Every structure is written in C-alpha cells, then in structure tokens.
Amino acid sequence: MLEENFFNPATQGMAPALIQIFATLLFCVIFLFLWRHSGVVYFGFWSLAWGLESVALGSSLAAFWGGSPAFVWTRALLEFCFALALLAAARSAAAASFHGIRKTLRSLVLFPGLLLLVYVFAWRLPITPFRAVHATVLALIYGYSFLSIGLHGGLQKGLGGILLRLSLASLFLQFASHAAIFTYASSGDAAAWVPRLGWIDVYDLVPQIFLAFSAMAMWIQTQQDTIGTLRHELDIFRQAATGSAELDHLTGLHNRLALDRQLGTAFSGVVAVCDLDYFKDINDRFGHLVGDEVLRSVGNLIRTSIRGEDTAFRWGGDEFVILFRNQHFDLVKDRMSALEQRLQSFRIRGHGLFPLGLSWGVAEGADKVLRPILEEADLQMYARKRDTHARKR
C-alpha cells in the first residue's frame, strides 16, 4: 500500500532514515542541554519535540523490519505529538515565561483539542495528503513561533536571537513549500512522487541545524551577558568596599589610609593641615562621647566648606588635611581663616557656646609629589600652633 510505503525506509532509502534519526536525537540533546543550563521553558519543549520526532522516525524502521502497519499509524500519532510540543514551545515564548511551565500548560487547554481534530481528519486521508496537512500545520506553528519570539524581548536578544528568528522563518517557508508539493503530489500520480520525495525530510535538517546552532549562540551570548552583569556588580561592590575602607566613619571624611595612597602621586594646588587646639581638654571635661560629637561636627563643617573637586581627610585624632586642587594660595588662606572664625562661635549641644581654636598651615605645589608639600604644610601648622600657645602665656 502507498500508505505503508510512504514512511517505509525501503522506499525512501535507509540512509535518509538513519540520518534523520541521528539528527533528531542530536537536536534533542542540544535543546535538553540548553534547557537544563538556562531554565528556559522554550528550549525544554523543543527538546521534547525532537525526542518525539526521533521516536516517530524509529517507528518507521520498526514498521519496515516488523512488517506491521500499526507502526505507520504510531508514527502518525507521534507526529501529532511532535506538532503539539512545537506549539507548546511557541506558546511559552508568547507568554514571555522562562520558568512558568504550569502557566504555559494552562494556556494550551484549547489548542490540543483543535489540533487533534485536524489530525483525526487527516488520518482518514492517504499518506500523501496527510503529509500535506502535517506540513501545513508545522508551517503555521513555525510561523507562530517566529512571531512569538518577536514579541519576547529576552529570546530575540542579540545576534543569537536574530539567527533563531531567521531559522524559524526559513522553516516556515520550507514547510509551506512542502505543503504545496505534497498537495500537488496527492492530486496526481502519488506513487511516481514517492522516490522523488525520499530525501525531502533530510533537506529539512539544514534549517533545523541552523535553528539548533542559533539557539546555542543565543545561550552563549546570554551567558556572556550574565557574566558581564556579574562583573559589573562585582566592580561596584569592590568600589563600595574600597570606599568604605578609606572612609572615616566618625567624621565622614576620608581616612589616613586614603591619604597615604596619594602621598606618592603628583599634586597641583594647595595643601592645608589643621589641628584643633586643646582638644584633649574637651575629652577631659565633657567625656569622649562629647569629643566624638565635636569631631563629627568639625568634619561636617570642613566637608561643607570645600568644593567638589577638593578632598578632606581626618589624618588622626583631631588633625585634618585638605587638598585644594588647582586653587590659589591666597584664596586657600582666606578659606582657612574663615573656617577658624566659624569655629570661634562653635556650640556644644547641651553645654552652649564653646569656642574652638584651630591651628593651620598651608603649602603650595605645582605638579609635585604630595608628600613633601604635606610635610611643609604640617610644619607651618605646628609653627602657628607654637605661636598661638606662646601668645596665651
């Protein structure tokens, strides 16, 4: 019978049947790998589809070796399941769901019944018209999958997604042409067409191979994007950790570690070193908690008194360093004098007015190493402190 011979490896040739079985098993493994490593439901349904197709092709071999026509209709049933799995994959892409298997299955409640009616009708036809119906169904499913991925930004992302859509478009066109060929063959002497159509399923492997490798390319690109995102997040975490390590948490200024890392670098501008006078008396009189509050307030005052390009450090204890970048020497002296005057009206919470003395020194450098400039400003600060103490005596 023609119905039995159309899927018969003896009629089509053993080589095409074996090539198809090997290729479909390979596709099944590829998409199973992609599903297991990406968690994308779309790839899981594709793996299921190619697994069913490999079993369907195996039933053709069983029909040839066993001589039972039941295997022919078994393949027809498996071809229906293959189409259903492809439809489930398209629906999962349309739902834009990567992990929602239940949601995808719920959305398929009406589609299997409709598809089954089509195949029940087609099974009453000879095999050649059945192949025409089957090719039409697959063309529609591939076209629907092409449109679904177009609506799913995650699956069409990058070059891999573009290649995947192109392969689905080529499969749509190829199976649409198959439907036309089988329809034409069924209208004439179908027996004469069987030898000519023996390799047609093998030709289908070309866009299917393209589909599998484009899916692999898309997964590789997704992995690279994920790695890039993780690297970016790690860089942010490292910067935050570095920034936290170089921050004085009491005053909110940079700490001595941050300053030490800049001592060997070139600096252009003015360096100011300042120190609170008689700060030990505050700790002795009011306690260390009040002393910490004073340092916190002074740090905030310094931070709000400088520009965005300037940097302030707590060098240690009650001593501070300010780097005025690309600033004039006289202007920095005016700024430090203004800061000294503001501290004269300093108030301690709960204790009222408590003027704070500030000794400071400045030194200028033009593209010089920071360390000697800082040392000169430090010497100027101690000279000023000695003069202040001498006057009070």
Give the span between the Cα atoms of 200 and 172, in whole angstroms: 15
C-alpha angle 307/259/308, rounded to 5°?
10
For the four alpha carbons of 18, 16, 121 and 91, in that order, the dihedral sign comes to positive
Q: Is 277 a catalytic residue?
A: no
Which one, of 221, 292, 206, lies nearest residue 252 by Cα?
Answer: 292
Q: Count how many residues are written for the chain.
A: 393
Helices (H), 246-367: 256-260, 279-286, 288-303, 329-343
In the set 310, 318, 334, 367, the catalytic residue is: 318
**Sequence-ordered alpha helix ranges (H) in the chain:** 2-5, 9-12, 14-38, 41-66, 70-94, 101-106, 111-123, 127-151, 158-187, 190-193, 200-203, 205-245, 256-260, 279-286, 288-303, 329-343, 370-392
Question: Rounded to whole angstroms, what are the CA distances from 296 to 54, 249, 256, 347?
Answer: 74, 9, 16, 13
Residues annotated as part of the active site: 318
